[in-house]
Amino acid sequence: MRFLITILAIAFITSSLSAQEEKRGTVTIAGKILPFIIDDCGDTLLIAQLDDVSVSSFRKFNSDEDYKKYRRYRAYAVKVYPYAVEAVKVFRQIEVVTAEMRRGKQKKYVKHLQKELDDKFEDPLRKLSRTQGMVLMKMVEKELNVPTYDLIRELRGGFTASYWSTMGRFYGHRLREGYKRGEDPILDIVLDDFNISYQVSKQ
């Protein structure tokens, strides 16, 4: 749901009823052109739309430790959110683009795409901590409803998937299991607050 800044709208209507003279115009903020008015008191009022927001009740935790864990997970989720969005977007696009391709052509396309993604994301992803990487992985798995192992196997083959599954175990990641709700209730709460869905037009 998109929210109009109601207070500003009401202020605009109220001031316009009593204003002798008002000035209107537009201003560019963060690349967006927004309308504004200057009321008879000299106040500048902007009218804009806010992006989608999630409204939830106050969180209650069983202990300070759970609360600290929640804050830590949430901070990590905010950090990895752009990468999760990009991962889901790329996967959805691959699904559409390669749907009619032969297996060999699919592998060639994915390999080319991986090179582009490595150039763009390898350095920042390497700087993530183990827990940040886990949050990113679970965020993507939750949205796609597919374990990381199966994603790698589908895109890069069984040998590559097995290799990364073995490597993942050294860092405490179980790539074959995927996201399981209830396994970490605090993580569930955090991930529920982030929408990373992406739909590709098939036209």
Q: What is the mean pLDDT of the chain?
A: 75
**Which tens digits make up the pLDDT trace of 117-142?**
777 777 787 888 889 889 988 998 89
Residue 172 has a CB neighbour count (10 Å cut-off) of 10
Q: Are 134 and 187 in contact (CB under 8 A)?
A: no
What residue spans define the domains of the chain? Answer: 6-46, 64-192
d(CA 33, CA 17): 25
**Which tens digits make up the pLDDT trace of 137-191?**
899 889 888 888 887 787 777 888 888 788 888 777 788 888 899 999 999 999 9
d(CA 152, CA 148): 6
DSSP letters spanning 25-80 = EEEEETTEEEEEEE-TTS-EEE--BPPP----PPP--SSHHHHHHHHHHHHHHHHH
Is the pLDDT higher at 115 or at 15?
Answer: 115
Q: Are 101 and 109 in contact (CB under 8 A)?
A: yes
Instruction: Judge if pTM exceeds 0.85.
Output: no
pLDDT bucket at 55, cuts 50 / 70 / 90: low
Backbone φ/ψ region at 181: left (φ over 0), alpha (ψ -120 to 50), beta = beta
pLDDT exceeds cutoff 90 at 195: no
* Confidence (pLDDT) at 19: 41
